[in-house]
Protein backbone atom coordinates (compact mmCIF):
# COMPACT_ATOMS: atom_id res chain seq x y z
CA UNK A 1 0.00 0.00 0.00
CA UNK A 2 1.39 3.37 -1.05
CA UNK A 3 1.07 6.57 0.94
CA UNK A 4 -1.37 7.95 -1.66
CA UNK A 5 -3.55 4.88 -2.12
CA UNK A 6 -7.21 5.73 -2.45
CA UNK A 7 -6.41 9.33 -3.37
CA UNK A 8 -7.60 10.99 -6.56
CA UNK A 9 -5.14 13.52 -7.97
CA UNK A 10 -5.50 16.14 -10.70
CA UNK A 11 -2.16 17.06 -12.26
CA UNK A 12 -1.85 20.29 -14.24
CA UNK A 13 1.43 21.05 -16.05
CA UNK A 14 2.78 18.06 -17.97
CA UNK A 15 4.48 19.22 -21.19
CA UNK A 16 7.20 16.59 -21.68
CA UNK A 17 8.91 13.68 -19.97
CA UNK A 18 11.23 16.25 -18.39
CA UNK A 19 8.38 18.19 -16.75
CA UNK A 20 8.44 18.26 -12.97
CA UNK A 21 4.75 17.30 -13.21
CA UNK A 22 5.71 14.14 -15.17
CA UNK A 23 7.91 12.91 -12.30
CA UNK A 24 5.24 13.83 -9.78
CA UNK A 25 2.78 11.72 -11.79
CA UNK A 26 5.16 8.72 -11.80
CA UNK A 27 5.71 9.04 -8.05
CA UNK A 28 2.01 9.51 -7.28
CA UNK A 29 1.20 6.41 -9.33
CA UNK A 30 3.86 4.39 -7.56
CA UNK A 31 2.31 5.43 -4.25
CA UNK A 32 -1.14 4.29 -5.30
CA UNK A 33 -2.90 7.48 -6.44
CA UNK A 34 -5.50 7.57 -9.20
CA UNK A 35 -4.59 10.40 -11.60
CA UNK A 36 -6.37 12.77 -13.99
CA UNK A 37 -4.43 15.10 -16.29
CA UNK A 38 -4.99 18.34 -18.07
CA UNK A 39 -3.20 19.40 -21.25
CA UNK A 40 -2.63 22.92 -22.54
CA UNK A 41 -3.34 22.28 -26.22
CA UNK A 42 -3.55 19.51 -28.83
CA UNK A 43 0.22 19.71 -29.43
CA UNK A 44 0.84 18.56 -25.88
CA UNK A 45 -1.93 15.94 -25.75
CA UNK A 46 0.41 13.22 -27.15
CA UNK A 47 2.88 13.69 -24.27
CA UNK A 48 0.08 13.65 -21.73
CA UNK A 49 -1.37 10.48 -23.31
CA UNK A 50 2.01 8.85 -22.74
CA UNK A 51 2.22 9.57 -19.02
CA UNK A 52 -1.48 8.75 -18.67
CA UNK A 53 -0.85 5.29 -20.17
CA UNK A 54 2.18 4.74 -17.91
CA UNK A 55 0.08 5.61 -14.87
CA UNK A 56 -3.06 3.68 -15.90
CA UNK A 57 -5.12 6.80 -16.37
CA UNK A 58 -7.62 7.60 -19.09
CA UNK A 59 -8.72 10.98 -17.83
CA UNK A 60 -7.24 13.81 -19.92
CA UNK A 61 -8.97 17.16 -20.05
CA UNK A 62 -8.06 20.28 -22.00
CA UNK A 63 -7.15 23.24 -19.82
CA UNK A 64 -5.57 26.52 -20.79
CA UNK A 65 -5.54 28.21 -17.39
CA UNK A 66 -6.10 31.56 -19.11
CA UNK A 67 -9.69 30.38 -19.68
CA UNK A 68 -12.25 30.44 -16.84
CA UNK A 69 -14.52 28.26 -18.93
CA UNK A 70 -11.90 25.54 -19.42
CA UNK A 71 -11.05 25.54 -15.70
CA UNK A 72 -14.73 25.19 -14.87
CA UNK A 73 -15.19 22.40 -17.41
CA UNK A 74 -12.31 20.40 -15.91
CA UNK A 75 -14.23 19.98 -12.64
CA UNK A 76 -17.57 19.44 -14.39
CA UNK A 77 -15.97 16.57 -16.34
CA UNK A 78 -14.17 15.21 -13.27
CA UNK A 79 -17.48 15.23 -11.39
CA UNK A 80 -18.86 12.76 -13.94
CA UNK A 81 -16.20 10.16 -13.12
CA UNK A 82 -15.00 10.96 -9.59
CA UNK A 83 -16.96 11.62 -6.40
CA UNK A 84 -14.32 14.13 -5.29
CA UNK A 85 -10.73 15.30 -5.65
CA UNK A 86 -8.04 14.72 -3.00
CA UNK A 87 -5.05 16.39 -4.65
CA UNK A 88 -4.50 19.23 -7.12
CA UNK A 89 -0.97 19.77 -8.43
CA UNK A 90 -0.34 23.10 -10.16
CA UNK A 91 2.95 22.99 -12.08
CA UNK A 92 2.41 25.91 -14.44
CA UNK A 93 4.35 29.06 -15.13
CA UNK A 94 4.56 31.44 -18.04
CA UNK A 95 5.72 34.94 -18.93
CA UNK A 96 6.36 36.29 -22.44
CA UNK A 97 9.92 35.25 -23.25
CA UNK A 98 11.27 38.75 -23.89
CA UNK A 99 10.51 39.72 -20.29
CA UNK A 100 12.90 37.04 -19.01
CA UNK A 101 15.98 38.71 -20.36
CA UNK A 102 17.87 41.90 -19.61
CA UNK A 103 17.07 44.28 -16.78
CA UNK A 104 13.62 44.00 -15.16
CA UNK A 105 12.40 47.28 -16.58
CA UNK A 106 13.90 46.89 -20.07
CA UNK A 107 11.11 44.79 -21.59
CA UNK A 108 8.44 45.25 -18.93
CA UNK A 109 4.94 46.04 -20.18
CA UNK A 110 1.54 46.13 -18.49
CA UNK A 111 0.44 43.28 -20.73
CA UNK A 112 3.46 41.06 -20.05
CA UNK A 113 3.18 41.67 -16.32
CA UNK A 114 -0.47 40.79 -16.41
CA UNK A 115 0.12 37.59 -18.41
CA UNK A 116 2.81 36.42 -15.97
CA UNK A 117 0.51 37.09 -13.01
CA UNK A 118 -2.51 35.51 -14.68
CA UNK A 119 -0.90 32.26 -15.85
CA UNK A 120 1.61 31.79 -13.04
CA UNK A 121 -0.27 33.01 -9.97
CA UNK A 122 -3.98 33.68 -10.46
CA UNK A 123 -4.42 30.25 -12.05
CA UNK A 124 -3.58 28.53 -8.75
CA UNK A 125 -6.33 30.43 -6.95
CA UNK A 126 -8.67 29.84 -9.89
CA UNK A 127 -8.15 26.06 -9.65
CA UNK A 128 -8.76 26.27 -5.89
CA UNK A 129 -12.00 28.18 -6.43
CA UNK A 130 -13.30 25.85 -9.13
CA UNK A 131 -12.16 22.71 -7.29
CA UNK A 132 -13.26 23.77 -3.80
CA UNK A 133 -16.53 21.85 -3.81
CA UNK A 134 -14.95 18.58 -4.92
CA UNK A 135 -12.15 18.90 -2.31
CA UNK A 136 -14.50 19.53 0.67
CA UNK A 137 -14.02 17.52 3.85
CA UNK A 138 -11.79 14.74 2.56
CA UNK A 139 -8.35 15.88 3.84
CA UNK A 140 -7.49 17.15 0.38
CA UNK A 141 -4.37 19.10 -0.50
CA UNK A 142 -3.07 21.45 -3.16
CA UNK A 143 0.51 21.92 -4.28
CA UNK A 144 2.26 24.45 -6.49
CA UNK A 145 5.83 24.94 -7.73
CA UNK A 146 7.82 28.07 -7.02
CA UNK A 147 11.36 29.34 -7.37
CA UNK A 148 13.82 31.30 -5.21
CA UNK A 149 13.30 34.34 -7.45
CA UNK A 150 10.07 34.87 -5.48
CA UNK A 151 12.04 36.03 -2.46
CA UNK A 152 15.41 37.11 -3.89
CA UNK A 153 16.19 39.46 -6.76
CA UNK A 154 17.81 37.52 -9.58
CA UNK A 155 19.21 38.22 -13.04
CA UNK A 156 16.70 37.65 -15.86
CA UNK A 157 13.95 36.01 -13.77
CA UNK A 158 12.40 39.48 -13.59
CA UNK A 159 8.59 39.52 -13.78
CA UNK A 160 8.43 35.78 -13.04
CA UNK A 161 9.94 36.53 -9.62
CA UNK A 162 7.16 39.00 -8.95
CA UNK A 163 4.57 36.45 -10.11
CA UNK A 164 6.12 33.71 -7.92
CA UNK A 165 6.01 36.08 -4.93
CA UNK A 166 2.27 36.47 -5.56
CA UNK A 167 1.96 32.69 -6.00
CA UNK A 168 3.61 32.09 -2.61
CA UNK A 169 1.25 34.61 -1.02
CA UNK A 170 -1.59 32.68 -2.66
CA UNK A 171 -0.35 29.53 -0.88
CA UNK A 172 -0.84 31.30 2.46
CA UNK A 173 -4.18 32.92 1.65
CA UNK A 174 -5.58 29.71 0.19
CA UNK A 175 -4.34 27.73 3.21
CA UNK A 176 -6.15 30.23 5.44
CA UNK A 177 -9.33 30.08 3.35
CA UNK A 178 -9.50 26.32 2.78
CA UNK A 179 -8.10 25.07 6.10
CA UNK A 180 -11.53 24.89 7.76
CA UNK A 181 -12.62 22.54 4.96
CA UNK A 182 -9.66 20.29 5.71
CA UNK A 183 -7.80 21.35 2.57
CA UNK A 184 -4.05 21.92 2.94
CA UNK A 185 -2.17 24.19 0.53
CA UNK A 186 1.60 24.09 0.08
CA UNK A 187 4.39 25.01 -2.30
CA UNK A 188 7.74 23.58 -3.25
CA UNK A 189 10.52 25.99 -4.14
CA UNK A 190 12.70 23.92 -6.46
CA UNK A 191 16.27 24.54 -7.53
CA UNK A 192 16.94 25.01 -11.26
CA UNK A 193 16.21 21.95 -13.43
CA UNK A 194 16.62 21.56 -17.20
CA UNK A 195 13.02 21.33 -18.45
CA UNK A 196 11.15 22.98 -21.35
CA UNK A 197 10.50 25.97 -19.08
CA UNK A 198 14.27 26.37 -18.78
CA UNK A 199 14.98 25.96 -22.48
CA UNK A 200 16.26 29.02 -24.22
CA UNK A 201 16.96 30.74 -20.90
CA UNK A 202 20.39 32.36 -21.34
CA UNK A 203 23.13 31.10 -18.98
CA UNK A 204 20.99 28.28 -17.64
CA UNK A 205 23.99 25.94 -17.72
CA UNK A 206 26.05 28.40 -15.68
CA UNK A 207 23.20 28.60 -13.16
CA UNK A 208 23.24 24.82 -12.81
CA UNK A 209 27.01 24.70 -12.25
CA UNK A 210 26.81 27.65 -9.83
CA UNK A 211 24.28 25.75 -7.69
CA UNK A 212 26.28 22.52 -7.93
CA UNK A 213 29.31 24.41 -6.66
CA UNK A 214 27.72 26.54 -3.93
CA UNK A 215 24.94 24.39 -2.45
CA UNK A 216 25.58 22.37 0.73
CA UNK A 217 24.88 19.12 -1.13
CA UNK A 218 27.19 20.22 -3.99
CA UNK A 219 24.76 19.11 -6.68
CA UNK A 220 21.64 20.09 -8.59
CA UNK A 221 18.24 18.71 -7.75
CA UNK A 222 16.31 16.42 -10.07
CA UNK A 223 12.64 16.14 -10.99
CA UNK A 224 12.62 13.00 -8.82
CA UNK A 225 13.90 14.93 -5.79
CA UNK A 226 11.00 17.36 -6.20
CA UNK A 227 8.49 14.58 -6.85
CA UNK A 228 9.38 12.73 -3.65
CA UNK A 229 8.76 15.86 -1.56
CA UNK A 230 5.58 16.54 -3.54
CA UNK A 231 4.32 13.04 -2.74
CA UNK A 232 5.03 13.56 0.97
CA UNK A 233 3.34 16.98 1.06
CA UNK A 234 0.22 15.65 -0.67
CA UNK A 235 0.03 12.58 1.56
CA UNK A 236 -1.52 12.24 5.01
CA UNK A 237 2.02 12.02 6.40
CA UNK A 238 2.05 15.82 5.99
CA UNK A 239 -1.38 16.33 7.58
CA UNK A 240 -0.02 18.97 9.97
CA UNK A 241 1.59 21.06 7.22
CA UNK A 242 -0.22 23.85 5.39
CA UNK A 243 0.63 27.28 4.01
CA UNK A 244 4.31 26.32 3.75
CA UNK A 245 6.94 26.69 1.06
CA UNK A 246 9.36 23.75 1.24
CA UNK A 247 12.75 24.26 -0.42
CA UNK A 248 13.98 21.36 -2.55
CA UNK A 249 17.18 23.00 -3.71
CA UNK A 250 20.11 20.99 -2.32
CA UNK A 251 20.23 23.64 0.42
CA UNK A 252 21.27 26.46 -1.93
CA UNK A 253 18.97 29.10 -0.39
CA UNK A 254 20.38 28.81 3.15
CA UNK A 255 23.88 29.86 2.17
CA UNK A 256 25.56 33.20 2.65
CA UNK A 257 29.24 33.71 1.82
CA UNK A 258 30.88 30.38 1.11
CA UNK A 259 34.12 28.76 -0.03
CA UNK A 260 36.41 31.70 0.80
CA UNK A 261 39.97 31.31 -0.34
Active site (catalytic) residues? 147, 157
Length of the chain counted residue by residue: 261
With CB under 6 A as the contact rule, the residue among 12, 87, 100, 135 that binds ligand 0WE is 100
Q: What are the helix (H) ranges across 14-157?
A: 20-30, 42-54, 68-81, 110-117, 123-135
Q: Does 247 bind ligand 0WE (CB under 6 A)?
A: no
Q: Does 82 bind ligand 0WE (CB under 6 A)?
A: no
Binds 150, which of ligand 0WE, ligand NAD, none (CB < 5 to 8 A, cut-off by type)? none
**Shortest Å distance, C-beta 38 to ligand NAD:** 7
d(Cα 14, Cα 23) in Å, to the nearest integer?
9
With CB under 6 A as the contact rule, the residue among 23, 156, 215, 229 that binds ligand 0WE is 156
Question: Near ligand NAD by CB under 6 A, which window of 130-138, 194-202, 235-243, 253-261?
Answer: 194-202
- Looking at residue 139, the DSSP 8-state letter turns out to be T
Closest CA to 223 of 68, 2, 19: 19
Rank residues 53 and 196 by Cβ distance to ligand NAD and give the closer one: 196
Binds 92, which of ligand NAD, ligand 0WE, none (CB < 5 to 8 A, cut-off by type)? ligand NAD
Amino acid sequence: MGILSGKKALIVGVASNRSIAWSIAEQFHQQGAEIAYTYLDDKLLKRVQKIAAITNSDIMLPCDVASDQQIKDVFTELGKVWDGVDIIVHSVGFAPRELLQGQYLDNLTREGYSTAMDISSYSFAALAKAGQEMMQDRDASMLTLSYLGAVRAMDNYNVMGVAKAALEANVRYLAHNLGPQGVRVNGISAGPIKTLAASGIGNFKSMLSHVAEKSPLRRNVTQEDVAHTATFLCSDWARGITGEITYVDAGYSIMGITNLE
